[in-house]
Every structure is written in structure tokens, then in C-alpha cells.
Structure 1
Amino acid sequence: MAEETRPPKVMESFPLFTFSQANQAGQSFGLSGSLKKLPPPPCVEVAFSEPDSGFVSSLSDPIVIGDGHHGLTLFKGRVNTSDVFGVSNSDLVPGTYEGGLKLWEGSIDLVKSLRNEIDEGRLNVNGKRVLELGCGHGLPGIFAGLQGAASIHFQDFNVEVLRFLTVPNVYRNLIYTSTQSHPPKDNVPASSNVRFFAGDWSDVHQLLLPRFNDCQNEVASVTECDTSDAYDIILMAETVYSLSSLHSLYELTKKCLQYPQGVVYMAGKKHYFGVGGGTRHFVRLVENDGKMRALLLAEVADGSSNIREVWKLSYK
């Protein structure tokens, strides 16, 4: 199952691939090998190719969010990190594999908070441009698609995560499921409006915001740039685990978020023991910058891990 080495392309397509069983949700971060980070891989766009429907449905498990008549069923792919990266399921390898194949609890927390925001009339996703950073399974972005988002872009550090997990999972939840429903759902975004980008947060904006990037090379002030590529809503779950990447993550959100109405929803652990980051470190960075306000939406202390939080960030 090893993939032939080849130079990176601008577009990467999704091949069929067989994975072994993986755990439902990750609950801890482990580090493998040396902590010295390798140079980031080049940024590339991964093509949204349609996999075989039997392949997709057989390699996914239902995740029920909520209960009773208010329950929402999404699907997660079954992917084993040892099959794709050759590391154990609990490992992070800085600069090589950043945990994207696990389903972290923060993704579920974020979907629940988004649902509550919509139910309470504080968020309207319909017709909006949505970006999910560090997407992994992509459940928050998928939920936005089910709520009528006009376009959804998924970003992850690893090409492999997007090709082997995110692409088939998005297809399973948005495209395949909508065509199997009776009547077929017509509010999900067309596949042409769903895109996937791999790369480091320090430079992936070059793909996400091509017009903005060209403009920055020509004018002195960012406010003079065309921001039509910017996103109305940015989603991110379990992205704030490493202190060393918080600054580049925050700078990316500021570049990508539509001004002044854009909003960021962030879910994660209050503190990540062993890797140094956490939601409070990120919020402190936001508050010290002074351009955005942070509002705590939810706190989860269910005993399955250390305290988890969901925050909402918006421009002042």
C-alpha cells in the first residue's frame, strides 16, 4: 500500500484505499520521536473526486450528536494512522503528522455549539463562505454544509489526511447522503463549491486567498486589498494544542476572515498537557492583539479528558 514518491502537484486526486479499524474518538495527544520540526510541506489543493459509494458506506461509522428528536447523525471514516503514516494512533510527529486522522472530542463540541447558535438565532450559515482549519474528519464544516453554506473549504496540514479521510467523509455526509434521502436534499453545496487545501498555517493563505495574496505584493495596507475571497465563518477544533503554532494560526484567521462581520468558532481543550497549548493561550493572544473579542460559549467537563471549551471570536 506504499505510495510511489513523486513531486507535489498543484492538484492531488483521491484514490481508493483500504483502511483498518480506528478508534471512535481521540482523547490524548502523544508525541513520537524527536520534537524537532521538519520544514513544512508545500501547499497544494486536493481534488474532490467521487469514490465508489459502496467503499464509502462500508468504511464509515455513524456519530449521533444530541438525542431524541433533536439527534443529528453524521458519519466518520475508519482510518488507521499506521496504514497511512506508519505511526501509532496516539502519536503526533511534529512537521510530519499532526493528528488529523483521529476524531477529537472538540469536533463534536463545536458541532453542538454551532447547532445551538443557529437554534438561538445567533448564527446564520445559509449562503455563507465557510473555512474549516485543521479539519481532519471535517464534521463542523460538513455540518455547515448541511445548514446551507454556499461554499466550504477544508484545510489540513497533511495531504494524506485530506485524500484518505476528509474527501471521502465529506462525500459520505454531504453528497452521498443527500442523494440517498427521499426526497433528495437540495440545500447542500455543489461539489464544485467544496474544496480541500493542504499546507502549513504560515503560508496556506497563498492558496486560500489568491487575490488577497496578489494584492499584498502591490500595496502597503491590507485594508486596500480585495477581500472577496475572505470567509464569513471560520471553524477550528483542537487546533490550539501547540504553543509554537498559535501565532501563525491567529495570523491566518485574521487574513482569511471577512471584515467586519466575520466570525470564528474555536473548540479545544483548556490546556494541552505535554504540548503546551490550549484555548486560554489562544484567547490571551487574541486579547493582547486587541482587534477581536472572545466570548466563551461552552465549557465541557465530562471526565473523558481535561476541560474543553468552545469560543466565539469576532471583530470589535
Structure 2
Amino acid sequence: MATNTSFQLFSSSKDKPSLGLGFLESSEPQLPPPPPSVEVLSSEVSSSVKYTVEPVNLDGLTLLKGRVSTKEVLGLPNSDLVPGIYEGGLKLWEGSLDLVKALRSEIQNGCLSFEGKRVLELGCGHGLPGIFACLESAAEVHFQDFNAEVLRCLTIPNVNANLLEKAKPETVSEVRFFAGDWGEIHQLLPHARESEINLTSSSEHGQASAYDVILMAETIYSISAQRNLYGLIKKCMNQPNGVVYLAGKKHYFGVGGGTRQFLSMLEKEGVMAATLVTEVADGSSNVREVWKLSYK
């Protein structure tokens, strides 16, 4: 287990992320165009899909999460993902749990506070990290996923289940939900528009308009999607004081992505610094990591 260890990022001339939408490189068939970006209202929660609540214990912290059928929600056979159609949001990935644990540790160590902050969770799926931010008195928490169906059938019910039972009435966060592709969703996110314009500005107006904390777990598995993801982070992140907490596997075998490949891309641009918050090497799965990103 490593804690708050600085890491000298590495780069390689052969690491050239594709700008296309393919899950792999050019050998993959071209994917369909992404769905339009939309805001999904809390009132749009699905009543036609069976939703079963289950507890998740995270070292003494208990959160609630739902279980739904991929076939029932999307008309697809149970699958981790279908590139360009369904990006895995109905499955509870290990990185999401690692991220919640890391955030809790950061708070306990005095390195992080959500109180009064604007928070964005990208690729949220179940939304447990964003839900944790709500429970820690964030002012606003916005959840983004590729699929609107995931938000209606899983994320919104999960948020409701946790906040109705656990949130303090005087500190209830404003929650909103957005579906769409990372290359386009910034046009809809409330706090991305002005921060995109003021990316190089240090004005108070530019800082006030952006997200203070961005959370994401298991979002960097596809090399071809990483550049859009990084571009979105820069459009959304408060400068200079915003932070990103990224959880993922060191390498995603078979698809080319991973935390180290993503960090290599960041190092090449030289805008952000990265600090390793925790590493999970339990011997039962690929090595998993949580990183903290901030402007240099």
C-alpha cells in the first residue's frame, strides 16, 4: 500500500493515442456515432426495471447500491460493455470502491474536504464516489454517464436510496445527471462552459465557474477515448485549485489503456502533476491505483 507518493511520470514516443472512437486501434470496426448529450431529470427514474437494493461495506462505511439486469435495461445480453453502445455502467467495478476508500482516507488525513464544493463524477455508473461526496456535504454533485438508461435505472435510484437514508437535511447536495459522450458533454455541463473559455485565466470569475473536485473510476481503459476524457477534464476543472481523483487498473490487458498510459499523456503536455494516493495489489486481480491530479 502506497500513500501520497510522488511519481515521476514516463513517456514513450510510440504512445500516440488514437483520436477516433474505436475501442482498439484501426483494426477495430468503426463505432456508431455517440448518443446525443442530454440532462436526465431525477423524476425520470425508471419504474419499469426491477431494482434490488444491496449494501456495500467499505471498511466500516456502508453504502447502498442497486442491481439491475443489462438485458432488461438495454436489451443486451449480460456483458461488461459493448463499445460505442454500452460502456459498462451497470456493473460495479473495483475501482469505484477503491476510490471511495481513498477519498475517505484523504478526508481523515486532512488532505480533502467536500464541504461546499462543486463535484463532478465522470463515467459514474453506480455513482458511489459521487454519493460519498454528497454525504460529505458537497454543495453540488453532478453525475455523468455515457448511457441515459444507466442514469434512469441505476444511478438516480442509488442516489435516492443513499441520500434519503443517510444525508443530513441541512446539508443536502444539489444533484443533477447528464448523459453523453466525453467529446460533447461539456456543452451541457453547467460548470464547463465558462471554464473552457477561461482555461488559461486565473480570474476569480473563471475559478468560480468550474468544478472543484472531479471523480472518475475505471474510465481510462480505452486509449482512443482518453484524449476526449482529458480534454473534458481541462474544460471542467477549477484552475488553479481543482483536483481530480482517478481510480483504475495500472494496465487493462487486451485494450491498451491503464493509469500509466493515461499519465504518460498528461506528462507530455506538462500542464498537470500527479500523485499516487494508493495502490492495491491483492494478488487476486490486476494492480489497481488511485491518483490525484492537479495543475502544476
TM-score (ref. length: structure 2):
0.84
Question: For 2:165, which of 164, 177, 196 is the aligned residue?
Answer: 177
Q: Which residue of 2 aligns with 1:195?
A: 176
CA contact (8 A) 1:146 1:187 kept: no
Q: Which residue of 2 aligns with 1:251?
A: 231
CA gap of 1:97–1:215, structure 2 versus 1, over 3 A, is closer
Q: Which residue of 2 aligns with 1:208?
A: 189
Q: Return the offset for 1:288.
A: 1.1
Cα distance in 2 between the residues matched to 1:212 and 1:258 = 12
Q: Which residue of 2 aligns with 1:10?
A: none
Q: Return the offset for 1:51.
A: 6.2
Question: For 1:291, which of 242, 246, 271 is the aligned residue?
Answer: 271
CA contact (8 A) 1:128 1:149 kept: yes
Q: Return the offset for 1:215.
A: 7.7
Cα distance in 1 between the residues matched to 2:238 and 2:85 = 31
What SS does the aligned partner of 1:251 have? Answer: helix
Q: Which residue of 2 aligns with 1:62?
A: 55
1:129-162 C-alpha deviation (Å, 9 max, x unpaired): 0000000000000001101101100000000011
Q: Return the offset for 1:80.
A: 1.3
CA gap of 1:50–1:244, structure 2 versus 1, over 3 A, is closer
- Consecutive unaligned residues in structure 1, runs of 5 or more: 1-29, 180-184
Cα distance in 2 between the residues matched to 1:49 and 1:90 = 28
Q: Which residue of 2 aligns with 1:182?
A: none
CA contact (8 A) 1:74 1:139 kept: yes
CA contact (8 A) 2:115 2:136 kept: yes
Q: Which residue of 2 aligns with 1:9?
A: none
CA contact (8 A) 1:235 1:265 kept: yes
Cα distance in 2 between the residues matched to 1:273 and 1:105 = 16
Correspondence list, 1:1-316, <5 A: 35-49=29-43, 59-66=52-59, 71-174=60-163, 176-178=164-166, 185-190=168-173, 193-209=174-190, 212=193, 216=197, 223=201, 226-316=206-296
CA contact (8 A) 2:126 2:158 kept: yes
Identity of aligned residues (%): 60
What SS does the aligned partner of 2:89 have? Answer: coil
Match for 1:248: what amino acid?
N
- Consecutive unaligned residues in structure 2, runs of 5 or more: 1-22
CA gap of 1:227–1:305, structure 2 versus 1, over 3 A, is same
Higher RCO (CA 8 Å, separation ≥ 6 residues): 2
Cα distance in 2 between the residues matched to 1:108 and 1:187 = 27
Match for 2:169: what amino acid?
D
CA contact (8 A) 1:131 1:155 kept: yes
Instruction: Give the total of aligned pairs.
Output: 268
Match for 1:155: what amino acid?
Q
CA gap of 1:287–1:77, structure 2 versus 1, over 3 A, is same
CA gap of 1:290–1:272, structure 2 versus 1, over 3 A, is same
Q: Return the offset for 1:302.
A: 1.6
CA gap of 1:249–1:52, structure 2 versus 1, over 3 A, is closer
CA RMSD of aligned residues (A): 2.6
Q: Which residue of 2 aligns with 1:14?
A: none
Q: Return the offset for 1:95.
A: 1.1
Q: Return the offset for 1:273.
A: 1.0
CA contact (8 A) 2:215 2:245 kept: yes
CA contact (8 A) 1:209 1:256 kept: no
